[in-house]
Chains A and B, each alone.
Chain A
Amino acid sequence: MISERLKAAILKELKLDDYEFTDETAASQVPGWDSLNHINVILAVEKEYKIRFKNIEILRLRNIGELQDLINSKIQNAH
């Protein structure tokens, strides 16, 4: 499940009104989320959750579901 918080952060960065994200949604399917803009989306997510991903953690992500899982594990570890 994609949380409202993650969804809002991504939509805001991409300047989209709405988009139906599923766990399997890949970045390339989302309007405006191209390989160049990827840098901004990742920074926006890191800023939103005040976390820092390792490079390899981001590189192996295949879809938004995996991004959500990664965020969840980061937040849990922080507590």
Chain B
Amino acid sequence: MPIDFNKLIALFAYDQYDPLLFSSAFFMFLFFFILIIYRITSPVRILRVLVLIAFSFYFYYKSSGLYFLLLVLASIINYSSALGIFNSKRVKRRIIFISAVAVNLLILGYFKYTDFFISLVNNFRTDELQLIDVFLPIGISFYTFKAISYLVDVYWEVLEPERNFLDLTLYISFFGNILAGPIDRASAFLPQVKREYFLSKRQFSTAVLLIISGLIKKVVIADYISINFVDRVFDFPTRFSGVENLLAVYGYSLQIYCDFSGYTDMAIGVSLLLGYHLMENFNFPYKATSIADFWRRWHISLSSWLADYLFRPLQMKFRDLRLYGNIIALLITFLLCGLWHGASWTFIFWGFLHGFYMAFSLLTAKPRNLIIEKTGLRGTKALTIIQGVITFQLVSFAWIFFRAPSFEYAGDMLNQIFTFFHPEIFTQFIGGYPSVIMLMILGYLLHFIPKSLELKTINFLENRNIIVHAVILAVFIWIAAQVKTSEIQPFLYFQF
């Protein structure tokens, strides 16, 4: 059969709706070759770095076209301003710092929030301004936050500015974490660019396991329950009973976890194969026993970014207000956290809910502790379970606003849950959606896999040769392909 070269070229060309997702066969295929080229070139430092930069630019180009030049621009701006901050004193230093952060935020703001602000302004005008419909380049929120953390660290003098332009370009553009994080810190990433390429057998096995578990979470669990159940309910909540709406909310809690943490697992695994250790991003978030605990386990690279660069500066600014200083800092941080996720009031409200939960828990800390003491629950397993269940309900409630297309939809869902529950439908539901139910149970059980099993699997993989690895990986990719419906669902998080 003759090869259709036009189709082949189209596969490689820019397509806004066809990003290079780690879970796609095309990415795996490309990455295999990149890995070989990388291994061959790795003894020469500059070549090794250039290979990664070139692939990262291509990765970006694939879904955002010429906007990959934004990465070049961001690298130039942040490289030169960090050096400028380092080499200046007092007022000049401050001016360079503030303007560099402002430029980063303005670029992010233009691409992500222009229409949101136009519609805000329209609320106060009789003649409506036209929306511009700005193209949203992928991962812009992620690499902008990486860049800002770098600038702040240099400004705070906890990090020396990078003197090698290519190294900084790779930090900004690295394909492994550009689409959906983790939002790695320059202080951890840059030394790895300088280090020689090395991959132990154990690291290789860990990477393979991460890619497999990511595939299962993302393609098998998240995509399946979203297409076959969660999306249907969220798109037409009034067509379903309360019990189905409630299950869809719990389904979405699981879906977003498996989708996002699965994708991060793959990102960490893929990067590890190139010798890069990215930061941990999830730590069994639904085991959390409080909202504060949840944020120490969920999207850790973002929550620690917000804690270091937004919450703590605000907290110190308002520290004389003590408790209320904390509360003000929390509310501002979480409102902006909501806005970071998307230019819409539903995201802002989701952020507000989390800020409110945290503030409420601070304000009620004393009476709650008193109750725990009086009831003799302190230190018991029962308390952990009660707190875990309450936290999960609060988080799931907030997810409704995160996922729902608008407040009307969220309202409809809550209305169905509270006024049209019909618990008898539950048995029908189990009969109608056996695989969805099974995957949901499996997904939640993932939270309770003992660490020892993970270590045993890595040990097992470590003692096998590369052919066995390839076969195992192929089997899982095949399984994923079987489960996958005709099209790969776009990754939930990269629109943020």
A residues neighboring B (CB under 8 Å): 34-36, 38-40, 42-43, 55-56, 58-60, 62
Q: Identify the closest chain B residue to A55 (Cβ).
A: B316
Which B359-382 residues sit within 8 Å CB-CB of chain A? 362
* Cross-chain contact B362 with A59 (CB below 8 angstroms): no
**C-alpha spacing A40/B326, complex, angstroms:** 10
Tell me the complex Cα distance, A60–B158, Å. 7
In Å, the complex CA distance between A34 and B303 comes to 14
In the complex, residue of chain B having the shortest beta-carbon distance to the beta carbon of A35: B307
Question: Is B434's beta carbon under 8 Å from chain A?
Answer: no
Q: Which residues of B contact A35 (CB under 8 A)?
A: 307, 311-312, 315
Residues of chain B with a CB closer than 8 A to A39's CB: 315-316, 319, 322, 325-326
B378, chain A: closest CB distance, angstroms: 15
Q: B317 to chain A: which residues have CB within 8 Å? A: 55
Query: Per-residue 0/1 for B280-293: is the Cβ within 8 Å of any A Cβ (1 yes, 0 no)?
Result: 00000000000010
Asked whether B322 lies within 8 Å of A55 as measured between CB atoms, the reply is no
A to B CB contacts below 8 Å, 10 in the list = A34-B292, A35-B312, A39-B326, A43-B320, A56-B156, A58-B316, A59-B156, A59-B316, A60-B157, A62-B158
Determine if B490 is an interface residue (Cβ-Cβ < 8 Å).
no
Most B CB contacts (10 A, CB to CB) among A34, A35, A60 go to A35
Query: Shortest distance in angstroms between A43's beta carbon and chain B's nearest beta carbon?
Result: 6
Contact A42 B158 (CB under 8 A): no
Q: Is the C-beta of B43 less than 8 angstroms from some C-beta in chain A?
A: no
Q: Which residues of B contact A55 (CB under 8 A)?
A: 313, 316-317
Min distance, Cβ B155 to any Cβ of chain A, angstroms:
8
Residues of A within 8 A of B362 (CB): 36
The reply to whether B312 and A59 contact each other, CB–CB distance below 8 Å, is yes
A34 to B358, CA, bound (A): 14
Give me the 4 closest cross-chain CB pairs, A-B, nearest first: A60-B156, A55-B316, A39-B319, A60-B158
Q: In the complex, which residues of chain B have a beta carbon less than 8 angstroms from the beta carbon of A36?
A: 292, 326, 362
Bound-state Cα–Cα, A60 to B157, Å: 7
- The range of chain B's interface size is 10 to 19
Closest residue of chain B to A36 (Cβ to Cβ) is B326
Complex CA distance for A34 and B326, rounded to whole angstroms: 12
Closest to B307 in A: A35
Excluding A35-B307, A35-B315, A39-B315, 19 further A-B contacts by CB distance (< 8 Å) are A34-B292, A35-B311, A35-B312, A36-B292, A36-B326, A36-B362, A38-B315, A39-B319, A39-B322, A42-B319, A43-B319, A43-B320, A43-B322, A55-B317, A58-B316, A59-B156, A59-B313, A60-B158, A62-B158
- Once bound together, how far apart are the Cα atoms of A43 and B325, in whole Å? 12
**What is the minimal beta-carbon distance from A26 to any residue of chain B, in angstroms?**
13
Which residues on A sit within 8 Å (CB–CB) of B311? 35
Give chain A residues whose Cβ lies under 8 Å from the Cβ of B322. 39-40, 43
Name the residue on A nearest B358 (C-beta).
Answer: A36
Distance, CA A38 to CA B313, complexed state (A)? 12
Given the contacts A35-B307, A35-B311, A36-B292, A42 and B156 also touching, CB distance less than 8 Å:
no
Interchain CB contact under 8 A, A38 and B156: no
Instruction: Return chain A residues, CB-CB under 8 Å to B307.
Output: 35
Please name the residue on chain B nearest to A40 by beta carbon.
B322
Q: How far is the CA of A58 from the CA of B322 in the complex (A)?
A: 16
Query: In the bound complex, how far is the Cα of B326 from the Cα of A36, in angstroms?
Result: 7
User: Which A residue sits closest to B157, measured CB to CB?
Assistant: A60
A36 to B312, CA, bound (A): 9
**Which residues of the partner chain A approach B316 to less than 8 Å between Cβ atoms?**
39, 42, 55, 58-59
CA distance A6 to B316 in the complex (A): 19
Which B154-181 residues have a C-beta within 8 angstroms of A?
Answer: 156-158
Contacting residues, chain B, for A43 (C-beta < 8 A): 319-320, 322
Nearest chain B CB to A25's CB is how many angstroms away?
17
* B320: chain A residues within 8 A (beta carbon): 43
- Which residues on the A side are within 8 Å of B157 (C-beta)? 60
Closest Cβ neighbor of A58 among chain B residues: B316
In the bound assembly, the distance between CA atoms of A40 and B158 in angstroms comes to 24
- Chain B residue at minimal CB-CB distance from A42: B319
Task: State in angstroms the CA–CA spacing of A62 and B357 once bound together.
Answer: 29
Residue of A nearest to B152 (CB): A59
Closest to B319 in A: A39
**Which of B307, B311, B316, B322: most chain A CB closer than 10 A?**
B316
Residue of A nearest to B330 (CB): A36
Q: How far is the CB of B370 from chain A (nearest CB, A)?
A: 16
Cα A34 to Cα B361 with chains together (Å): 15
- Candidate in A36, A42, A60 with the most chain B CB atoms within 10 angstroms: A36
Residues of B within 8 A of A56 (CB): 156
Chain A residues, CB < 8 A from B319: 39, 42-43
Q: Which of B44-102 contact A (CB under 8 A)?
A: none
Task: Compute how far the CA of A43 lies from the CA of B313 in the bound complex, rounded to whole angstroms.
Answer: 15
Task: Give the Cβ gap from A68 to chain B, nearest Cβ, in Å.
Answer: 17
- Shortest beta-carbon distance, A58 to chain B, in Å? 5
**Which residues of B are found within 8 Å of A38, using beta-carbon distances?**
312, 315
